[in-house]
Amino acid sequence: MWTRRRLLQAGVALGISSLWPALAYSPRSSLQAVHDALEALRRQRLILSPLEGWTEFRGVLHAHTAISHDSRGTVDEIIAAAGAARLNFLITTDHYTPRIYAEGVQGLINSVLVIRGVEIPMGCTQATGAARRCGSLLAFGCRSPLVPDAANGWDWDALFKTIRSQGGLSIIAHPRGLPSVEYFNQADGMEIYDMADAMREHIIDAPRALLEFLLVSAKYPEEFILPVVERMNWHLVRWDSLSRARRFVGVAGNDAHQNLAVFGRRIDRYDLIFRALNMHVLAHSLTEEKIINGIREGRCFASFGL
């Protein structure tokens, strides 16, 4: 049984053992080597001709603002970051609160199409412990607010039907945390990659990462977060299995919060996270309906921009 005291002792031991080799480690030379390798890779890039009749729109799916309890990002900050990252669209998915429908932004703002959505918790695989994982549902494109039952919370069968009837999309986020596989059968798709989940998997590298951030991250912000670019095999196996029976869309979620800082310096700035990972959608024009239909029909793909 892992008690709180044993977890704390294990964490301290892990931190010391991880930090010790980092003291003899040169993050500047290491990140410079990564920087040089990335520049060489960029020089090999080929620009493909667009598909006739379609326009490729680049954006971000799964982002949080200060409406969420765990984010402090303002609307002005997230819109400015989307513009700096040259996004065409931004799908916000704040943690559920009625405020989303009163205060959440949507529409074309400074040339960025903002699609307002919501993230709803669906439960966890276990109640406590370091291995705790929690799944959720991303819903966006709905014509009317989604409201839980005042007494019983969310009726999941009814919720999926409501989202579908309103022309919206339901995407399973953090899929490894779903307490029931039945939810997959009712959704339109799932995250095959989530940046926050990838960062969590690298928590064991925290001491070395902290050292790199403090010493050189200002010069190498993209190289610093490069380790979170990885193949999520569990997600891909699940997606492959589900998509054999029907169209089941795979998306990549930035899960941007802009809520991590060390000594006042932001680790997860919106602009950096927005450049790092993108969804690309093929559509005839930049409207909410066209972007959502493009995702629904699988005319989309994910890319890492680091």
286 pLDDT higher than 80: yes
Burial of 168 by CB count in 10 Å (0-12 exposed, 13-18 middle, 19+ buried)? buried
Angstrom distance (rounded) from CA 109 to CA 226: 30
pLDDT value of position 150:
81
pLDDT value of position 23:
44
206 pLDDT higher than 80: no
281 sits in which H/E element: strand 277-283
**Running DSSP on this structure, what letter comes out for residue 286?**
S
3-class SS letters over 128-157? CCCCCCEEEEEEECCCCCCCCECCCECCHH
pLDDT value of position 204:
53
pLDDT range class, residue 225, cuts 50, 70, 90: confident
pLDDT value of position 20:
43
pLDDT in tens, 47-68: 888 788 999 999 999 999 999 9
CA 207 vs. chain centroid, Å, equals 23
Angstrom distance (rounded) from CA 92 to CA 89: 10
- Read off φ and ψ for residue 91, nearest 5 degrees: -105, 110
Whole-number percent of the chain with pLDDT over 90: 62
Non-local CB neighbours of 26 within 8 Å, separated by 6+ positions: none
pLDDT in tens, 121-163: 999 986 666 667 899 999 999 999 999 988 889 999 999 999 9
pLDDT range class, residue 8, cuts 50, 70, 90: low
Which of 29-43, 108-122, 192-206, 238-252 bottoms out in mean pLDDT, i.e. has the lowest?
192-206
pLDDT range class, residue 304, cuts 50, 70, 90: very high
For the entire predicted model, the pTM comes to 0.84
